[in-house]
Amino acid sequence: MSTLTPKVKNTSTSPEKTNIKIEDDRTGMDKETLKRAFLDQLFYIQGVDRSKASLRDYYMALSYTVRDRLLHRFLKTIETYKKEEVKIVSYFSAEFLMGRHLGNNLVNLGIYDTMKDIMTEMKIDFEDIIEQEPDPGLGNGGLGRLAACFLDSLASLAMPAIGYGIRYEFGIFHQTIQDGWQVEIPDNWLRFENPWEIARPDDAVEIKLGGHTEKTHDENGNPKTFWVADRTILAVPYDTPVPGYDTNTVNPLRLWKAEASENFNFEAFNAGHYDRAVQEKMDAETISKVLYPNDNTPAGRKLRLEQQYFFVSASLQDLIRIHLRNHDNLDHFADKVAVQLNDTHPAVAVAELMRLLMDKHNYQWDKAWEITTNALAYTNHTLMPEALERWPVSIFGELLPRHLEIIYELNHRFLEDQRTYFAGDDDLITNISLIEEREEKLIRMANLACLGSHAINGVAALHTELLKQDTLKHFAKLWPEKFFNKTNGVTPRRWILLSNPKLSALVTEKIGAGWLKNLDEMRKLEKFADDAAFRKQWREIKQQNKQSLADYLLKYRNIHIDPNTMFDVQVKRIHEYKRQHLMVLEIINLYNRIKENPNADYVPRTFLFGGKAAPGYFMAKLIIKLINAVADVVNNDPDVRGRLKVVFMPNFNVSLGQRVYPAADLSEQISTAGKEASGTGNMKFAMNGALTIGTLDGANIEIREEAHPENFFLFGLTAHEVYDRKAQGYSPSEYYHNNGSLKAVIDRISSGHFSHGDGELFGPIVEQLMTDDPYMLMADYQAYVDCQDAVSEAYRDQENWTRMSILNSARMGKFSSDRTIAEYCNEIWDVKPVEIKIAEYNPNGANN
């Protein structure tokens, strides 16, 4: 039985004769056609024959074979959108964590198994070919992966869409571990040719920076402003086709590369000034050099703002150009374009669209503002005020003087209007102002996004409520009708079908393949939860996935893990609020128990961690060091004897996630309640049958509701209890003095037991937990320990554990990104699906 793709008939027969289907080698999907196309690509594009081909040659040839089939649909998709003048979703995001393209594109085209069979017949290791593809780190975590899932769902639902972002030359960074510490090295994902992108230099646009503005009047006597920039760079687009599953739709992801308007100063070179001759080129290219440059310095903050403006301006100019190909003006721009701002990174779009409309296309303020607010919508991804971007007015004005003028004018008009309705409410006026009045004035980008958008949404039910009650409460008071909840989702194509082919095959065998386009159909699995034979199949697949992860980690990471232990997993960005260190406290607690009573019966566990810490985030990097230090001691203690192992998997990325999620038994979602906006890793784990231990935070709440409380391991304070506990005067040291288990854990860290006797190394973690503990680890510790004990007892009953696992997967239909996107399309974007029709190949004429 095929695991990833259906069998497709490509010939028809009758008693009288056989009708042979002739296919184009560039577009045909027949097995022999694909094999021939692959060998042609190997010879004519890679320039090698099979006797001298490397794995990379095979990867490139296979990728170009797949890309040919995408391009046929891609060009037809763009042609259809243009011809039918459809409304298009434009998703603006500083991050697109797409993952590897080859496997996903094979799945969405329906030829994964066919190509795998071809490679097997040719005695080429298919998995080794897949491993040749770099996994670009063009995102930091959930934000960028969400954007990628949304693009997949938009195409799978046949929705017209284009993603806009930056083609970073280097991704976030490649993480290595040296002496337990995170070490960042460049993520040079472009060191070899990228077969999936198409450069479009003819569509390059100019981006201005710096300079000053000049006032004048147009021919009708209306005020007019000119921006006289002191720098101009080029934004060059690179398009990556993004296919939908079981549809002809292939939408573009357009990423911008920064280039100098003049690459080489010939006069300077001839004068012997060789460095100056290429200085402009180097300065320009810095903008798209790396994802999230360290902003601990003024130069780093300035570069981040340059990056944000760079891709926003390029994208808006591109959308306007596309619109004007079919229309005489921009009066109805918002009827044809829905721009979604993914967090505050693209929030400067509010001022930039106003600038383009007024300064370039001669609209007066009121009409420009109407178009702007109708076109833009804003997604908030954080509840923490410190994470809402603010730019110093001095830096902003230096780089974007015209935009600073527009923001001040927006603020003046906005506040004057609100003072009319809320006279005397100084607190509201202070909090909604676009300018934070401090010694160093700051521009509040979240406020700008709220003001300039017709819709504002959170990404989980609790998150949206807390936005309205706290983080953005003043805007919710002004415009309650603007606020929506759009609980995040993930694509089941990558995160079940591609990641977990054995489970996908079992599900399809039992309920059919409809679940891949409608994940709610997974509910049909509930009736099998009490079927002992089905539970056995389910459990065997989980064990095979654990063995597969163990084999992979040994082969590619030189890490040994025992697949016969419980896999207890936390993989996500390293941050204090996500509380990786709470999990470490429990590991030390278990270690202490084993040391005290080595002969007791313990459920063997492998604790798996993965994630990156921001380069400038000291505490997060120290947490990574603590994890590895504890691992070094625990894993080498003879008293443990295989009952407890701690592993930090370096450089966690999408591809490793595809192996980890299907293998996990327990999913750790233990953030401080009220801090996580949504989470999407929690969804990927649950879809693949892992049970969740977690707090009532983010989408955990809705996952628990869907899975039912008896299938979720809940612990910890609620968001309101966290707030109340702090308001009453939280004293974390009291928990230390009143809890012997917690005291023993903290004392073991402080003693230097995990740091070769150095009691100072982890002092910052201990001191924070004892004196401040902003993320309430001490308050939640005992509840977490008790809950983990309940997990161990539940795991002993493998029949019931498997039943819970089945029900978790069966009830995760709500968390498909297809559902999320359908809600956006219906309630915020007003975008409809568009059928893309592909004509049959005609060998006697053009293939259209």
Q: What would the pLDDT profile of 616-639 be if each residue is shown by its tens digit?
A: 899 999 999 999 999 999 999 999
Is 242 a residue whose pLDDT tops 80? yes
Chain centroid, CA 763 distance in Å? 33
Give the chain's mean pLDDT: 93
The mean pLDDT of 335-359, rounded to a whole number, is 98
**Residue 169: which of 290, 292, 284, 279 has the closest Cα?**
290
Is 6 a residue whose pLDDT tops 70? no
Rounded CA gap, 25 and 123, in Å? Answer: 22
Helix (H, G, I), strand (E, B) or coil at 241: strand
Q: pLDDT per residue over 115-146, tens digit each?
A: 999 999 999 999 999 999 999 989 988 899 99
C-beta separation of 177 from 648 below 8 A: yes
Strongest mean pLDDT among 84-88, 383-387, 844-848? 84-88
Q: Annotated catalytic residue: which of 302, 572, 575, 704?
A: 572
Neighbouring residues of 366: CB distance < 8 A, sequence distance ≥ 6: none
Rounded CA gap, 449 and 469, in Å? Answer: 18
pLDDT, residue 22, reads 55
Is 73 tagged catalytic? no
The mean pLDDT of 196-207, rounded to a whole number, is 97
The proportion of the chain whose per-residue pLDDT surpasses 90, expressed as a percent, equals: 86
pLDDT, residue 133, reads 96
Is 344 a residue whose pLDDT tops 60? yes
Burial label for 34, CB within 10 Å (0-12, 13-18, 19+), is: buried
Burial label for 821, CB within 10 Å (0-12, 13-18, 19+), is: buried
Rounded CA gap, 352 and 448, in Å? Answer: 12
Q: What are phi and psi of 727, to 5 degrees?
A: -65, -30
19-33, 104-118, 326-340, 750-764, range with the lowest pLDDT? 19-33
pLDDT, residue 264, reads 52
Q: Annotated catalytic residue: which of 67, 72, 542, 684?
A: 684
The mean pLDDT of 286-299, rounded to a whole number, is 84
Q: Which two tokens stand for residue 69?
A: 């089939």
Q: pLDDT per residue over 56-107, tens digit each?
A: 999 999 999 999 999 999 999 999 999 999 999 999 999 999 999 999 999 9
Is 482 tagged catalytic? no
- Which pLDDT band, with edges at 50, 70 and 90, does 296 fall under? confident
Rounded CA gap, 30 and 647, in Å? Answer: 44
- Which pLDDT band, with edges at 50, 70 and 90, does 4 fall under? low
- Opening angle at CA 107, ends 103 and 113, nearest 5: 90
**Residue 615: which of 323, 297, 167 has the closest Cα?**
297
Q: Each residue of 83-100: b (16+ CB within 10 Å) or e?
A: eeeebbbbbbbbbbbbbb
The mean pLDDT of 182-201, rounded to a whole number, is 95
pLDDT, residue 278, reads 64
pLDDT, residue 220, reads 81
Is 381 tagged catalytic? yes
Burial label for 145, CB within 10 Å (0-12, 13-18, 19+), is: buried
- Do the bridges between strand 713-714 and strand 390-392 make them parallel or antiparallel, or are there none, so unpaired? unpaired
Q: Annotated catalytic residue: which of 100, 381, 546, 581?
A: 381
20-24, 250-254, 545-549, 642-646, range with the lowest pLDDT? 20-24
Rounded CA gap, 571 and 582, in Å? Answer: 14
Give the helix ranges, DSSP H, for 325-469: 333-336, 349-355, 365-375, 393-399, 401-421, 426-432, 445-452, 461-466
Is 275 a residue whose pLDDT tops 70? no
More confident position, 468 or 26: 468
Is 463 tagged catalytic? no
Instruction: Please measure the distance between the N-terminal and C-terminal CA atoms of the chain and give it in whole angstroms.
Output: 34
Is 842 a residue whose pLDDT tops 70? no
**Residue 576: which of 630, 626, 651 has the closest Cα?**
626
Is 471 tagged catalytic? no
More confident position, 699 or 273: 699
Is 360 tagged catalytic? no
Is 832 a residue whose pLDDT tops 50? yes
pLDDT, residue 2, reads 42
Using alpha carbons, list the distances in angstroms from residue 661 to 546, 549, 668, 680. 10, 10, 12, 12
pLDDT, residue 43, reads 94
Q: Which two tokens stand for residue 264?
A: 């080489």
Using alpha carbons, list the distances in angstroms from residue 647 to 371, 569, 788. 53, 10, 18
Q: Determine how many CB atoms are found less than 10 A away from the CB of residue 416.
A: 10
For the chain, percent helix, then strand, then coil, each to nearest 5? Answer: 50, 15, 35
Partners of 205 in the beta sheet? 235
The mean pLDDT of 150-169, rounded to a whole number, is 98
17-31, 137-151, 312-326, 583-597, range with the lowest pLDDT? 17-31
Q: Annotated catalytic residue: which of 145, 578, 675, 819?
A: 578
- Which pLDDT band, with edges at 50, 70 and 90, does 763 fall under? very high
Q: Annotated catalytic residue: which of 344, 565, 672, 680?
A: 680
The mean pLDDT of 717-739, rounded to a whole number, is 96
Q: Each residue of 389-400: b (16+ CB within 10 Å) or e?
A: bbbbbebbbebb
Rounded CA gap, 283 and 298, in Å? Answer: 16
pLDDT, residue 293, reads 78
pLDDT, residue 280, reads 74
Rounded CA gap, 251 and 150, in Å? Answer: 11
C-beta separation of 539 from 563 below 8 A: no
Helix (H, G, I), strand (E, B) or coil at 455: coil
Is 166 a residue whose pLDDT tops 90? yes
- Opening angle at CA 267, ends 262 and 271, nearest 5: 140
Q: Phi-psi region for residue 72, left (φ > 0), alpha (ψ -120 to 50) or beta?
A: alpha
The mean pLDDT of 816-842, rounded to a whole number, is 93
- Which pLDDT band, with edges at 50, 70 and 90, does 15 fall under? very low
pLDDT, residue 140, reads 86
Is 265 a residue whose pLDDT tops 70? no
Is 11 a residue whose pLDDT tops 90? no
Rounded CA gap, 675 and 682, in Å? Answer: 15
The mean pLDDT of 824-837, rounded to a whole number, is 97
Rounded CA gap, 643 and 635, in Å? Answer: 9
More confident position, 221 or 60: 60
- Opening angle at CA 833, ends 832 and 839, nearest 5: 145
- Which pLDDT band, with edges at 50, 70 and 90, does 217 fall under? confident
For residue 438, what is the enclosing H or E element? none
The mean pLDDT of 268-288, rounded to a whole number, is 71
Q: Phi-psi region for residue 179, left (φ > 0), alpha (ψ -120 to 50) or beta?
A: left
Is 16 a residue whose pLDDT tops 60? no
C-beta separation of 552 from 659 below 8 A: yes
Q: Which two tokens stand for residue 229?
A: 């920039």
pLDDT, residue 141, reads 84
